[in-house]
Amino acid sequence: MRILRIIAAAALTAATAVAGLATFAAPASADVPASNPIQYITDYFWGDTGTYAVMGTVSCPSGSRVVSSGASAGGGQLTAIAPDINSFTSASATARVAGYLQITVGCETTAQMSEVTTRTIQLPYGSGFRRGVVYCPAGMHAFGGGGYMVKPFGIGGFSRDSVEMVSNAVTADGTGWTYAAYTSSSNDAPVITTQCAPLRGSYVSQTGTPAPVVQHVNTYGPCPPGYTALSGGVYLSQANGNEEQNGFVDYSIPASGNRWYVDGISFGNGDKLVALEQCIR
């Protein structure tokens, strides 16, 4: 099993939230065109009893980069999904599952994309329910992002103390990426990353379904006709729109028919499970 190599940049301190920006050279084609074909790569990683987190990494073919990443852990719970913040050519996920973790990445040829930048933040270390949002520069929209917990200096890759991920998705207005999960370790810090591009004419599709207390619920989130689902994610929402802090997700993954599939459980009242897709045309 390949483990994602995480480098903790000096600019990411344990005391403050910071943002890093990387800009890539622009080829002749503009933006991230919907006409670009998305190639999906899937692999499976076996867990044990579900007591310990299993982690896996899936890479895009040479010359392409991640535009979406999803995972499933049927009967378990996902704890993190994120692209490699150094290269954006692979993505990793962690889950607690007594079975297998499925990871799927959507890849596009790098030479066919332009005006792409990245934003990554690391929040302070601390235990409990942790959440954050990383935003794109003005005039840009988010895609292909993710979040995870990390130990000091990135030791061990994604933290195995993280549980109950309840959001990992593009924001409703399409300008950022949100991540929320719980950790029992005071040595964990959330890292949230996203890619950004103008995505002219883009639209964030939201599909929610009621989530009765302690009942598995699921939904498919489609893009409108004429749009392509560039990337997607999941959000377990309270009635007031904030993340539900008590619950978990076991599916957040691209599905056939230009859709995104999510599945999860809430322990709160009046909640709903939401699939979000960054749709482009």
List for the chain the helix, strand, coil content (%; round to 5): 0, 55, 40
Name the CATH topology of 20-199.
Jelly Rolls (2.60.120)
- Which pLDDT score is estimated for 157? 82
CA 138/CA 132 separation, integer angstroms: 18
CA 166/CA 232 separation, integer angstroms: 14
The percentage of the chain sitting over the pLDDT mark of 70, rounded to a whole number, equals: 89
Model pLDDT for residues 52-69, shown as the tens digit of each residue: 899 999 999 999 999 999
Confidence of residue 30 (pLDDT cuts 50, 70, 90): low
Would you tell me how many other CB atoms lie within 10 Å of the CB of residue 37? 9
Would you tell me how many other CB atoms lie within 10 Å of the CB of residue 269? 11
**Residue 192 β-bridge partners:** 121, 147
Model pLDDT for residues 202-261, shown as the tens digit of each residue: 999 999 999 999 999 999 999 999 999 999 999 999 999 999 999 999 999 999 879 999
**Residue 170 β-bridge partners:** 177
**What value does the mean pLDDT of the chain take?**
88
Distances from the Cα of 55 to the Cα of 94, 102, 230, angstroms? 4, 10, 24
Is pLDDT above 70 for 130?
Answer: yes
Mean pLDDT is lowest, of 48-62, 63-77, 89-103, 124-138, for: 48-62
Confidence of residue 13 (pLDDT cuts 50, 70, 90): very low
Is pLDDT above 80 for 6?
Answer: no
Distances from the Cα of 81 to the Cα of 77, 139, 166, angstroms? 12, 26, 12
Is pLDDT above 50 for 7?
Answer: no
Residue 81: name the closest of 162, 186, 198, 201 by CA.
162
Domain boundaries, the chain: 20-199
Is pLDDT above 70 for 74?
Answer: yes
Is pLDDT above 70 for 190?
Answer: yes
CA 87/CA 9 separation, integer angstroms: 14
